[in-house]
Structure 1
């Protein structure tokens, strides 16, 4: 087993339980992350090592007609073509965890931690209007999603917001209006704070208004990293949102 490449180790680990344990005993964890891409058609997924610049392909009959809604800790949150059926899937162990159907619309979805944890929670966000946000939650083993609406005096916009990111069991979303939303699934409360330091003049002065705008939020070592993009332009700024509610600019392009 120790002489096999990662792709072959994954295949060998699916033969039986003894082979799976043998594969785990010689597994080497990379210090860098790999990328997973899901082709639109077929039952395969692609693994890409950005440092070695190598790509591997795995055949997954379990995939079927699905797309990936979110990924974390080696698990994929899959959505079937019906758009209401969700399930967790681990492409390495081939483990599958079912979830209740979600027929409500959403604009962002995330989960944390891994679905094998007792504290795993799924959260969806739906912007109903500038001042009304709907949050739906679910967990493995639940029979339904629970939805709660929140009203705010700060506008949830204008029309652009980031993805959801979970840090320390709380979910965060940032809007182009300079507002950071924080959802605590334990207490089912949603708080928000306006950060004037990251209100970009290109947005609020209607500069580059004709270009599509995207906000990306990610977590690194407990910090929230925010990135703006404008059309095909390079990222305008990258900011670090520290847990003590301060902001520092990491890099300007």
Structure 2
């Protein structure tokens, strides 16, 4: 055992401490590398699980999902999204099974003749406008009309699309909504404001989404976002932060 040696010199104690005790080597700690893990929202996680990256824009899906949680349609489980930022030559209508988290249909769809040529750029709730309307709709009953098997749409947003039923804006099939028309003209034919479908898909899609499911028509439109009550109460933290504090009744939109 090492010990301290004390020497008395003229009444003063002087201590001797071995250098091995006083000059221990101090290592500089290495910086710890911490990788930041990306935190994804509920919408992003669901979007990834459903493999929608090549099918539907995330912004359109996120807004539709917010409405789905907020409006609480009476027939949950199915959500339809139409993305009018895409040209009519693209498949811009998607029908989603929210319970099984899968895509049911992905197809072309026509817009109103006065909304634009290849792209839908102008939207209206006005009678005689022959334009498409944006926002959230609830599907209702089916009927046989001048365009064959058709589906009534109830516009849920006052001043934005609440005249849809009075304008006879419905989902129906049309010969002008086909790949052959795209090849011949470079775009789809256009409706009087209805989201028209290819004839072969009309019946299966209508039978899937009828009787109370939610339809959202998206266009990345600032005027719509500023006017829609569905999005006016959003917190700054994100679209789905108030999932459990949604609108109590669809009537509150009107």
| TM-score, normalised with respect to structure 2 | 0.31
Greater percentage in strand: 1
TM-score for both structures, normalised by structure 1: 0.31
Structure with greater proportional helix content: 2
